[in-house]
């Protein structure tokens, strides 16, 4: 491998780009420099170091990052590592550089791009109305790598609600709803507390969700092409195809109706687009209560709240506490319910009431749930 010529350096850069999952290479700012460019615009520059047996790799940052004095320290790596068995010197060099880039440069480069990303800025603006809670509970944004439909490795931002006990499953649907209302697209992996988000594509594909081989183990994965995130894995391919068809039909329905959320756990369908009622559900979730309607939650063990409207009263909501199989009826009134469940039912309603108490509301615990009256009344539903 001859790094004294542009051709030698370009060949090495192409091999490294392929291993990194980057999109392309091009000549750098000087004849003896080559750039590796990812699909999302992240850029690295390779330059031979005298006596051309070492490579210096630098991050090329966007102007916005430079203006904020954000930096990523360059690294220098040998271009002549010892090859492994059945490995050429060129293959060894590409492998060695790739490993150092992933370990020493990629995390910092991704973090800088996330800090100046317009997509992340939109998400931060949308979530800024959501205050933190005592004990450090707050929303958090980070990046994780996903494999895009074109096979390239690219980070995707995720958001979650952080609590001392870990990420909150209860809050995830509401974070996703807030981001969709800000014009972003989201993926909510089954049973997880993290929400992937991205800008909507310039052109809507024929099918948003598709089935691919699972990245780990046997089976197949339902993948959202908008974010590259896996929604769920299945062992039965025929069943998975049916799930994908259903998901694509739901996406088509939402797109044509203009709805940000066709359903939202913890909320009656008629209340989803009313901000004040949505806020009640969000406050309950951030207080640690589980919304009713998540398909991965066992509601025979975990009670769920459900915000309902009151017929003829647009200024009032009723919050039910549901635990299968007793529903919203006080368990003490059901013979098959354990005696301790009646006490637990009452304690949960009191906790709901505390979480929703705020200026401009009257909150009262009733036999069948918690009544919330808004002052003044919200717009008619």
Residue 381: its pLDDT value, please? 45
pLDDT at 330: 78
Residue 171 sits in the same domain as residue 240 = yes
Question: Do both 14 and 143 map to the same domain?
Answer: no
Tokens encoding 138: 């707050």
Question: Does 379 map to a domain?
Answer: no
Look at residues 203, 222, 110, 202 and name the one whose alpha carbon lies nearest to residue 158. 110
Q: Which domain holds residue 138?
A: 119-257
Output the pTM of the full model. Answer: 0.81
In a domain, 114, yes or no: no
- Residues 77, 129: one domain? no
pLDDT digits (tens, 9 = 90+) for 45-97: 999 887 668 999 999 998 888 888 989 999 999 989 999 998 999 999 999 99
**Same domain, residue pair 165 and 276:** no
Q: Considering only residues 93 and 21, tell me which one the structure prediction assigns the higher pLDDT.
A: 93
pLDDT of residue 179: 97
Could you give the strand order of the β-sheet that contains 369-374, starting from the edge strand earlier in sequence? 290-291, 304-310, 313-322, 369-374, 361-366
Same-domain check for residues 30 and 133: no
CB 157 within 8 Å of CB 120: yes
The verdict on 131 and 245 lying in the same domain is yes
Nearest CA to 109 out of 13, 20, 27 is that of: 20
Whether 262 is in a domain gets the answer no
In a domain, 112, yes or no: no
- Structure-derived torsion over alpha carbons of residues 221, 226, 228, 229, reported in degrees to the nearest 10: -60
Tokens 């009313």 map to which residue?
274
Summary mean pLDDT of the chain: 89
Most confident option among 20-24, 134-138, 376-380: 20-24
Mind listing the pLDDT tens digit for each residue in 212-247? Answer: 988 777 889 999 999 989 999 999 999 999 999 999
Bond preceding residue 269 cis, omega within 30 of 0: no
Distances (CA, A) of 366 to 327, 330, 369: 15, 10, 5
């Amino acid at each position: 491998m001859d790094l004294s010529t542009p051709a030698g350096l370009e060949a090495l850069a192409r091999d490294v780009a392929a291993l990194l999952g980057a999109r392309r290479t091009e000549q750098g700012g000087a004849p003896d420099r080559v750039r590796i460019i990812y699909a999302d615009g992240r850029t690295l520059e390779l330059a031979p170091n005298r006596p051309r047996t070492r490579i210096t790799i630098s991050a090329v940052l966007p102007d916005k990052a430079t203006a904020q004095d954000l930096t990523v320290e360059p690294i220098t790596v040998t271009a002549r590592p010892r090859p492994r068995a059945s490995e050429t010197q060129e293959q060894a060099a590409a492998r060695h550089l790739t490993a150092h880039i992933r370990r020493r440069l990629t995390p910092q480069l991704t973090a800088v791009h996330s800090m100046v990303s317009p997509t992340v800025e939109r998400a931060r603006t949308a979530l800024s109305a959501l205050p933190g809670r005592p004990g450090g509970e707050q929303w958090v944004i980070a990046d994780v790598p996903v494999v895009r439909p074109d096979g390239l490795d690219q980070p995707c931002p995720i958001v979650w609600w952080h609590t001392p006990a870990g990420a909150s499953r209860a809050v995830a649907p509401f974070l996703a709803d807030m981001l969709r209302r800000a014009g972003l697209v989201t993926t909510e992996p089954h049973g997880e507390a993290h929400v992937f988000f991205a800008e909507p594509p310039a052109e809507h594909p024929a099918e948003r969700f598709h089935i691919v081989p699972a990245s780990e183990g046997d089976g197949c994965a339902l993948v959202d092409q908008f974010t590259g995130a896996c929604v769920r894995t299945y062992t039965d391919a025929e069943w998975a195809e049916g799930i994908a068809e259903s998901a694509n039909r739901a996406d088509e329905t939402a797109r044509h109706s203009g709805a940000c959320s066709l359903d939202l756990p913890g909320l009656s369908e008629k209340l989803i687009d009313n901000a004040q009622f949505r806020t009640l559900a969000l406050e309950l979730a951030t207080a640690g209560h589980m919304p009713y309607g998540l398909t991965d939650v066992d509601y025979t063990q975990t009670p769920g709240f459900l915000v309902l409207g009151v017929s003829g009263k647009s200024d009032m909501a009723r919050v039910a506490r549901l635990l299968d199989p007793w529903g919203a009826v006080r368990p003490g009134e059901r013979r098959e319910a354990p005696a301790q469940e009646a006490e637990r039912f009452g304690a949960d309603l009191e906790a709901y009431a505390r979480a929703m108490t705020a200026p401009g509301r009257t909150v009262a615990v009733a036999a069948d749930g918690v009544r919330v009256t808004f002052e003044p009344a919200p717009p008619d539903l």
